């Protein structure tokens, strides 16, 4: 989401200049690649760009090809085989094949409106993009994107009945599996490939605490571009440290952050009664991650007190509570603890264990 926001910011800053632009997007990866499907970069005809499609090795060539696409006003697919020693003049060594769709954008292109929807709303978003085509489909060109409206279960501006029906069916698979994927359409002599991209909402970090150790959490959230809600004693907090906080809630106020399935909660009041009361309420939320700072004995004491008060947690609820919290990386300082917690949050939301990659058998990334 951070990359999309940066792309939109650059586009809006150039909007008044009427300068033409294109988007280069990774739409297929075989074997290894630094970036995965969905990575994109915005390129203006002057050479200014934002975003990325690799670790820096493909951007220069993609920029030049984007400028050519802008000049010709023709979309194209570029295949980079990074296992070849002479690919674009260097041996990249990633040992993967990457398809990049380069699409020049007209002034009335719906692409930026689609991306703005993804940023503005916290729901799941789906964009289907035509990445291969053996013939024109009722004026639908290569590189055309369609936004899926979940409220109406419809694809905006997709007028080809067969393709629309096909996409609506495959989009349900993507939503169910929570994974972007390329599908192949073949009907009535027409062959097409469509990259269906699932764009989840931005992470939301809800912090309950007001001591000095919240500040490294806020700094890291700013780097990650996560939405942040902070609940605590406002008089105790340093205002100059709260620039990354989107929503600030007084400790004793009845209003609380809105929590959803993309929210990670951190209880770090360092006050037993406060953390106990917050956990009692927040366990009712849909947050898949609730961290409670402190040793295991402290959390065990909480559980015993809950039981003595007639409150028991289900196995599903206990699975969502991380206490002690964080990955074991030898963290001691507030900054190190923040890194430990953020790493655990990412591992939980991605369904990973958080181990060392050197000990992992097989590829780093899952492959379609």
What band does 367 get if pLDDT is binned at 50, 70 and 90? low
Q: Which of 150-159, 182-191, 218-227, 253-262 has the lowest mean pLDDT?
A: 150-159
pLDDT at 231: 96
Checking if the pLDDT of 280 tops 80, the result is yes
| Selection from 320, 326, 226 nearest residue 268 by Cα | 326
Do 133 and 187 contact (CB within 8 A), yes or no? no
pLDDT in tens, 156-201: 777 778 888 899 999 999 999 988 999 998 887 778 889 999 999 9
Claim to verify: residue 147 and residue 279 sit in the same structural domain = no
Three-state DSSP class for 50? strand
Give burial (CB, 10 Å; 0-12/13-18/19+) of 129.
Answer: buried
| Selection from 239, 237, 298 nearest residue 271 by Cα | 298
Average pLDDT over residues 266-274: 95
Claim to verify: residue 99 and residue 193 sit in the same structural domain = no
pLDDT at 224: 93
Claim to verify: residue 337 and residue 268 sit in the same structural domain = yes
Claim to verify: residue 10 and residue 120 sit in the same structural domain = no
Q: Look at residue 337 and tell me if it is in a domain.
A: yes
Q: Which long-range contacts (CB under 8 A, 24 or more apart) does 53-60 make?
A: 53/24, 53/25, 53/26, 53/98, 53/100, 54/94, 54/98, 57/82, 57/88, 57/90, 57/92, 57/94, 58/88, 58/92, 58/98, 58/100, 60/88
Given 173, 199, 225, the domain boundary residue is 199
Q: Pick the more confident residue, 184 or 96.
A: 184
Do 349 and 288 contact (CB within 8 A), yes or no? yes
Q: Look at residue 255 and tell me if it is in a domain.
A: yes
**Separation of alpha carbons 249 and 231, rounded Å:** 5
Share above pLDDT 90 across residues of the chain, in percent, rounded to a whole number: 57
Q: Look at residue 356 and tell me if it is in a domain.
A: no
Q: Look at residue 360 and tell me if it is in a domain.
A: no
pLDDT at 212: 95
Claim to verify: residue 239 and residue 184 sit in the same structural domain = no
| Selection from 177, 191, 190, 194 nearest residue 143 by Cα | 194
Checking if the pLDDT of 92 tops 60, the result is no
User: Which residue carries 């909402």 as its tokens?
Assistant: 201
Average pLDDT, the chain: 89
214-224 and 334-349 helices, crossing angle to 10°: 50
For the chain, what percentages of helix, strand and coil (3-state, to nearest 5) are there? 35, 25, 40
Looking at the DSSP assignment, which residues form a beta bridge with residue 291? 266, 322
Claim to verify: residue 25 and residue 79 sit in the same structural domain = yes
Claim to verify: residue 331 and residue 214 sit in the same structural domain = yes
Q: Which of 29-38, 72-81, 266-275, 349-358 has the lowest mean pLDDT?
A: 29-38
pLDDT in tens, 313-356: 999 999 999 999 999 999 999 999 999 999 999 999 999 888 88
Average pLDDT over residues 204-219: 96
Do 100 and 66 contact (CB within 8 A), yes or no? no
Given 78, 105, 132, the domain boundary residue is 105
Claim to verify: residue 89 and residue 116 sit in the same structural domain = no
Q: Look at residue 131 and tell me if it is in a domain.
A: yes
Claim to verify: residue 211 and residue 294 sit in the same structural domain = yes
Structure tokens at 81: 């085989």
Query: What value, to the nearest 5°, has the Cα angle with vertex 47 and ends 45 and 48?
Result: 105
Single pTM value for the model: 0.86
DSSP state of 359: G
Checking if the pLDDT of 93 tops 70, the result is no
Task: Calculate the CA dihedral of residues 43, 48, 54, 59 and round it to 10 degrees.
Answer: 90
**Separation of alpha carbons 275 and 321, rounded Å:** 12
User: Which residue carries 């106020």 as its tokens?
Assistant: 253
Do 208 and 265 contact (CB within 8 A), yes or no? yes
pLDDT at 15: 82
Q: Which of 5-19, 67-81, 83-97, 264-278 has the lowest mean pLDDT?
A: 83-97
pLDDT in tens, 74-88: 899 998 887 766 555
Average pLDDT over residues 24-41: 86
Claim to verify: residue 66 and residue 191 sit in the same structural domain = no
- The whole domain housing 322 covers 204-349
Q: How far is CA 3 from the centre of its chain?
A: 9
Residues 6+ apart with CB under 8 A from 317: 283
Checking if the pLDDT of 94 tops 70, the result is no
| Selection from 295, 297, 342, 290 nearest residue 313 by Cα | 290
Given 105, 124, 155, the domain boundary residue is 105
Claim to verify: residue 246 and residue 277 sit in the same structural domain = yes
Q: Look at residue 289 and tell me if it is in a domain.
A: yes
Claim to verify: residue 47 and residue 163 sit in the same structural domain = no
Q: Look at residue 84 and tell me if it is in a domain.
A: yes
Q: Look at residue 334 and tell me if it is in a domain.
A: yes
**Separation of alpha carbons 91 and 93, rounded Å:** 6
| Selection from 129, 120, 189 nearest residue 156 by Cα | 129
Looking at the DSSP assignment, which residues form a beta bridge with residue 247? 229
pLDDT at 89: 44
Q: Pick the more confident residue, 292 or 163.
A: 292
Checking if the pLDDT of 138 tops 90, the result is no
Q: How many domains does the chain have?
A: 3
pLDDT at 344: 97
CATH number for the domain spanning 339: value is 3.40.50.720
- Count, in order, helices (H) and strands (E) of the chain: 9, 16
**Separation of alpha carbons 294 and 279, rounded Å:** 14
């Amino acid at each position: 989401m951070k990359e999309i926001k940066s792309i939109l910011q650059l586009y809006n800053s150039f909007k008044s200049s009427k300068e033409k632009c294109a988007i280069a997007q990774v739409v297929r990866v075989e074997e290894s690649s630094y970036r995965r499907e969905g990575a994109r970069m915005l390129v203006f005809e002057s050479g200014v760009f934002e975003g990325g499609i690799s670790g820096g090795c493909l951007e220069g060539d993609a920029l030049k090809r984007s400028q050519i696409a802008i000049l010709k006003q023709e979309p194209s697919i570029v295949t980079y085989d990074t296992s070849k020693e002479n690919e674009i003049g260097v041996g990249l060594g990633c040992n993967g094949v990457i398809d990049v769709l380069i699409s020049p954008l007209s002034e009335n292109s719906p692409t930026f409106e689609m991306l703005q929807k993804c940023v503005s709303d916290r729901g799941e978003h789906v964009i289907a993009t035509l990445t291969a085509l053996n013939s024109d489909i009722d004026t639908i060109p290569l590189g055309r994107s369609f936004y899926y409206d979940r409220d109406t279960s419809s694809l905006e501006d997709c007028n080809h009945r067969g393709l629309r029906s096909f996409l609506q069916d495959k989009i349900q698979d993507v939503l169910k599996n929570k994974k972007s994927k390329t599908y192949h359409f073949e009907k009535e002599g027409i062959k097409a490939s469509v990259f269906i991209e699932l764009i989840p909402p931005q992470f939301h970090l809800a912090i309950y605490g007001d001591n000095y150790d919240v500040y490294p959490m806020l700094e890291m959230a700013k780097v990650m571009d996560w939405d942040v809600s902070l609940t605590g004693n406002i008089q105790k907090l340093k205002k100059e440290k709260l620039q990354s906080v989107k929503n600030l809630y007084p400790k004793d106020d009845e209003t609380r952050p809105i929590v959803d399935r993309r929210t990670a909660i951190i209880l770090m009041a360092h006050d037993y009664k406060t953390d106990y009361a917050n956990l009692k309420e927040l366990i009712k939320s849909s947050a898949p991650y609730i961290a409670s700072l402190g040793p295991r004995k402290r959390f065990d004491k909480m559980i015993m007190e809950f039981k003595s008060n007639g409150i028991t947690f289900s196995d599903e609820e206990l699975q969502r509570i991380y206490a002690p919290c964080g990955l074991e990386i030898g963290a001691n300082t507030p900054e190190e603890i923040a890194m430990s917690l953020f790493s655990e949050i990412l591992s939980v939301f991605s369904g990973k264990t958080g181990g060392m990659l050197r000990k992992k058998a097989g590829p780093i990334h899952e492959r379609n």
